[in-house]
């Protein structure tokens, strides 16, 4: 398979739910192999209360990928910045590979309540994430022991073993769509990933997407009808999934979830390129782009024209998904 065109593309590792360990390992190995063969940058590794430890998933990926790297979701409630820095440094030490870290705040009130963190509001979680990222970065990059006296974290001459060399220091990005997440990314000087609205919602030349990334799924084929046939077969109607989506909507204060939920159509068969039916039936957490190569490529080109620099694709169902997505990205990159 030829690599993606000159745009940064990650895929997403499968989730460890509703499957046993051996089956999950086989699935993760497949997606890792496909991602590597496609020339993608790496794989997003989710992290929430329902999933196994993302650092162990990252270890699995590094053992099997020649080039692709894990983009590990790190949530302050799950691990202190010291623990996260040490885990990242350990994997780099063992594999001689650079990791990527995706900083998230967590949006499920149910999950936060389970861990005694429900009293921390949405904007305050981003205040904490800003401090967390600052400490994490210092631990990973400072040649001297780190002393830090903040609101959420305090360190006194702390250092991690086997600090990565500068060339292998982890890349830090964050995720979010709210105004506070935008300010957080600006304060930290980091690329920010968001679940995008329709491209027409973003004024050409506007600042919201410029220099940032988006997460979406792609189902593209040479023929539009074939693309929609594949889309409906993969994501059929699901009334139970729609009910689960509505329940989750009430249990989260995530800005992006509310924003996309407000756009979910009752008619899941509406065949626009920008498609929220999989999100609205609780099958995935991102919008999809569906159509022939030129249609999807033109839509991707719209995001690129607004300054998007990086993409995270949804979990591939089969290796051909990345072949078809690559062709759509090639069409998007045409002058």
pLDDT digits (tens, 9 = 90+) for 69-83: 999 999 999 999 999
CB within 8 Å of 287: residues ≥ 6 apart: 195, 196, 216, 217, 260, 274, 275, 276, 279
pLDDT digits (tens, 9 = 90+) for 169-196: 999 999 998 899 999 999 999 999 999 9
Question: What is the average pLDDT across 237-254?
Answer: 72
Q: What is the pTM of this model?
A: 0.92
Q: Which pLDDT tens digit goes with each residue over 92-107?
A: 999 999 999 999 998 7
Cα–Cα dist 297/20, whole Å: 37
* Dihedral of the alpha carbons of 34, 196, 210, 328, in degrees to the nearest 10: 40
Q: How far apart are CA 245 and CA 264, in angstroms?
A: 10
Expressed in percent and rounded to 5, the helix, strand and coil fractions of the chain are 45, 15, 40
Closest to 95 (Cα-Cα) out of 55, 63, 140: 63
Check whether 64 has a pLDDT greater than 90: yes
Provide the mean pLDDT of the chain.
91
Higher model confidence: residue 243 or residue 314? 314
Q: What is the pLDDT of residues 2-43, one digit of tens each?
A: 567 678 999 999 999 878 999 999 999 999 999 999 999 999
Which of 330, 225, 257, 255 is CA-nearest to residue 7?
330
pLDDT value of position 280: 87
List, in sequence order, every beta strand (DSSP E) within 114-246: 146-149, 154-158, 171-175, 192-194, 213-221
- pLDDT category of residue 110 using cuts at 50, 70 and 90: confident
Q: Phi, psi (5° rounding) for residue 204?
A: -60, 130
- Residue 18: what pLDDT? 79
Among 258, 234, 218, residue whose Cα is nearest residue 107: 258
Neighbour tally for 232: CB within 10 Å: 16
Share of the chain above pLDDT 70, in %: 93
pLDDT of residue 266: 52
- CA pair distance 192, 189, nearest whole angstrom: 9
The pLDDT assigned to 317 comes to 96
Buried b (16+ CB within 10 A) or exposed e, 43-62: bbbbbbeeeeebbebbbbbb
Band (pLDDT 50/70/90 cuts) for residue 271 is confident
pLDDT tens sequence across 276-318: 988 888 788 899 999 999 999 999 999 999 999 999 999 999 9
Which of 8-12, 247-251, 257-261, 292-296 is least confident? 247-251
Question: What percent of the chain is predicted at pLDDT more than 90?
Answer: 74
pLDDT tens digits along 127-181: 999 999 999 999 999 999 999 999 999 999 999 999 999 999 999 999 998 899 9
pLDDT at position 217 over 80: yes
82 contacts: CB under 8 Å, gap ≥ 6? 135, 139, 155, 158, 160
């Amino acid at each position: 398979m030829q690599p993606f065109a000159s745009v940064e593309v990650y895929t997403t590792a499968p989730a460890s739910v509703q499957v046993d360990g051996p089956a999950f390992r086989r699935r993760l190995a497949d997606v890792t192999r496909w991602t590597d063969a496609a020339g993608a940058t790496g794989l997003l590794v989710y992290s929430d209360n329902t999933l196994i430890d993302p650092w162990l998933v990252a270890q699995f990926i590094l053992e099997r990928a020649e080039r692709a790297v894990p983009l590990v979701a790190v949530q302050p409630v799950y691990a202190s910045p010291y623990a996260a820095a040490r885990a990242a440094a350990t994997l780099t030490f063992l594999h001689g590979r650079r990791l990527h870290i995706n900083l998230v705040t967590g949006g499920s009130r149910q999950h936060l309540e389970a861990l005694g963190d429900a009293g921390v509001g949405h904007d305050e979680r981003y205040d904490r994430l800003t401090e967390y990222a600052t400490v994490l970065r210092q631990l990973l990059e400072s040649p001297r022991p780190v002393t830090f006296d903040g609101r959420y974290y305090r360190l006194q001459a702390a250092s991690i073993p086997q600090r990565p060399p500068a060339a292998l220091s982890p890349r830090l990005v964050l995720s979010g769509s709210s105004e506070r997440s935008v300010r957080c990314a600006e304060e930290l000087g980091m690329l920010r990933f968001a679940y995008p609205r329709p491209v027409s919602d973003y004024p050409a030349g506007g600042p919201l997407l410029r220099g940032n990334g988006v997460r979406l799924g792609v189902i593209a084929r040479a023929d539009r009808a074939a693309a929609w046939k594949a889309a409906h077969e993969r994501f059929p109607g699901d009334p139970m999934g729609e009910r689960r989506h509505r329940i989750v909507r009430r249990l989260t204060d995530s800005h992006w979830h509310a924003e996309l939920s407000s756009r979910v159509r009752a008619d899941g068969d509406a065949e626009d390129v920008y498609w929220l039916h999989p999100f609205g039936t609780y099958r995935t957490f991102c919008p999809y782009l569906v159509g022939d190569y030129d249609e999807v490529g033109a839509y991707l080109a719209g995001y690129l024209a607004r300054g998007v620099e990086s993409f995270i694709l949804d979990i591939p169902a089969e290796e051909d998904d990345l072949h078809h997505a690559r062709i759509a990205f090639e069409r998007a990159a045409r002058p």
